[in-house]
Amino acid sequence: MSVIDIPPSPVRLAAVAAPGQPEPTPALEQLYRGFEQELLVPLWTQIGDLMPREPRSKASAHLWRWDRLLALADEAGRIVPVGRGGERRAIALANPSLGGRPFATPTLWAAIQYLMPGEDAPEHRHSQHAFRFVVEGEGVWTVVNGDSVRMSRGDFLPQGGWNWHAHHNAASQPMAWIDGLDIPFSYYTESQFFEFGRESLPPAERISPEFSRSERLWAHPGLRPVSQLQDQPTTPLLAYRWVDTDRALAEQLALEAEGVPATLSPGHAAVRFCNPTNGRDVLPTLRCEMHRIRQGASTLARQEVGSAVFQVFEGRGRVTVGERSWDVARGDLFVVPSWMRFEAHCDKNAASLDLFRFSDSPIFESLHAHRTLVQPR
């Protein structure tokens, strides 16, 4: 069963009377039959769709409410077991304009994952890059190559491709979080590898330390272990804790108030989660950031090549994506398709609006194809 098969439709060409199209004649029809037979498609029938003036996304701006996601995930927790084969109790956002595929945008996967008390999600590894972000709850540890990483509210856990990983819920409550991956990108580009791991974790890895070994080695600002100097395209730091993220955002706004340039625009602080070995994005295909908009403030309007998914971490406000606008609250998820205009505004009665964001920008920057258009205020 697959909702994402490409229909096996053959080449079908129709001669039509339209600007830029050759005049329909019997000769043209005969030519088109020849093209169909030889599996050929002329550019002149496709150019408007293939080569637009600027990106016109197939995807839609769309919002998913956290309470609905959580309720369904909880229900799934009760009736769908987690285990080898299905691998994860992860439920993915399916953009309404992408044909029922479990793709939040053409390149990005976003899912809510849910683990019941005492449950384990089995070990595997895959070439797709992934992260977890925790909007609420605690009690699950992700075990990456044998290193147990605590997951708590506000924490961001990146995980480069091809690392072994499993999850286990050590608490007496279920826990939900979101997974972000580049599954659609690697699906379209056909570059995925996957392997099953051990059937269960040994006791030595089913532990619940406050800090992972990766943090103890790497989470010291500006300090690099001299034993770890080799290049690493994905971050070796497996958890970015909320206490650090929160402080960094608060300091940007405090510096701004002191007249020091620190924010992206007035009232809009933002940090990017980075690979400490090179200062670049945590993952080669995924950019992950936390944004904070001050009480009553707004972001600048922005268009960017590539797509993004946001989750509201805290606060209330209003976001606009292209022609759509929504009032948002904790946990809500929404997508910004390529080149659609995005703005966010923090409610006057909220201390701030904190938005977690991930996007596919590193792909375009690596390929020198990135463009951004920021509307000055």
Q: Which among 104-112, 137-145, 318-326, 346-354 is the span making contact with a second copy, rule CB under 8 A? A: 104-112
Q: Which of 107, 159, 299, 359 binds a second copy (CB under 8 A)?
A: 107
Distance CA 231, CA 251 (A): 31
Give yes or no for residue 161 binding a second copy (CB under 8 A): yes
Q: Kindly calculate the radius of gyration of the chain based on its CA atoms and give it in whole angstroms.
A: 23
Residue closest to 166 by CA, chosen among 182, 183, 145: 145
Enumerate residues 218-237 that contact a second copy by CB under 8 A: 218-227, 229, 233-235, 237
CA atoms within 13 A on the CB side of 118: 1
Please, what is the minimum distance in Å from the beta carbon of residue 263 to a second copy?
A: 6
What is the amino acid identity at position 19?
P
Q: Residue 260 or residue 351: which is nearer to a second copy going by CB?
A: 260
Q: Applying CB under 8 A, which of residues 111, 143, 175, 319 lies at the interface with a second copy? A: 111
Contacting residue, 122, 153, 206, 263, with a second copy by CB under 8 A: 263
Q: Which stretch binds a second copy (CB under 8 A): 136-144, 295-303, 331-339, 347-355?
A: 331-339
**Number of other residues whose CB lies within 10 A of the CB of residue 265:** 17
Site residues (CB under 8 A) for a second copy, limited to 176-195 = 183, 185-195
Q: Closer to a second copy at the Cβ: 193 or 348?
A: 193
CB of 349 to a second copy, least distance (A): 26
Contact between 133 and a second copy by CB under 8 A: the answer reads no
Question: Shortest approach of a second copy to residue 347 CB, angstroms?
Answer: 22
Q: Site size for a second copy, by CB under 8 A?
A: 158
Q: Which of 169, 245, 298, 352 binds a second copy (CB under 8 A)?
A: 245
- Phi, psi for 85 (deg, rounded to 5): 110, -70
Least Cβ distance, residue 217 to a second copy (angstroms): 6
CA distances from 26 to 35, 42, 116 (A): 14, 17, 66
DSSP assignment of 168-184 equals EE-SSS-EEEEEEE-HH
Contact window for a second copy (CB under 8 A) among 132-140, 316-324, 343-351, 358-366:
358-366
**DSSP state for residue 96 in the 8-state scheme:** T
Give, as ranges, the residues between 65 and 94 that touch a second copy (CB under 8 A): 68-69, 72, 75-76, 79-81, 84-94
Please list, in sequence order, all residues whose beta carbon lies within 8 angstroms of the beta carbon of residue 309, skipping any fewer than 6 positions away.
93, 104, 105, 108, 110, 180, 333, 334, 335, 336, 357, 358, 359
Smallest distance, a second copy to C-beta of residue 137, A: 19
Distance (Å) of CA 343 to CA 59, 220, 323, 324, 326: 18, 34, 11, 11, 11
Interaction residues for a second copy, span 4-23 (CB under 8 A): 4-14, 16, 18-22
The residue among 317 and 362 lying less far from a second copy, judged by its C-beta, is: 362
Residue 366: C-alpha distances to residues 99, 109, 159 (Å): 29, 20, 19
Touching a second copy, residues 269-328 (CB under 8 A): 270-279, 282, 284-285, 289, 291, 305-307
DSSP H or E stretch at residue 63: strand 62-64
Inter-residue contact 358 to 286 (CB < 8 Å) = yes
CB 333 within 8 A of CB 310: yes
Q: How far, in Å, are 148, 162, 321 from residue 340 at the CA level?
A: 39, 33, 6
* Burial profile 205-242: b = 16 or more Cβ within 10 angstroms, e = fewer: beeeeeebebbebbbeeeeeeeeeeeeeebbbbbbbbb
Residue 50 sits in the site that holds a second copy (CB under 8 A): yes
Residue 34 near a second copy by CB under 8 A: yes
- Nearest approach, Cβ of residue 346 and a second copy (Å): 17
User: Is residue 28 within the footprint of a second copy (CB under 8 A)?
Assistant: yes
Q: Which is nearer to a second copy, 82 or 312 (CB)?
A: 82
Q: Which is nearer to a second copy, 9 or 349 (CB)?
A: 9
Compute the least distance from the CB of residue 20 to a second copy, in Å.
Answer: 3
Structure tokens that stand for 65 in this block: 């409410």
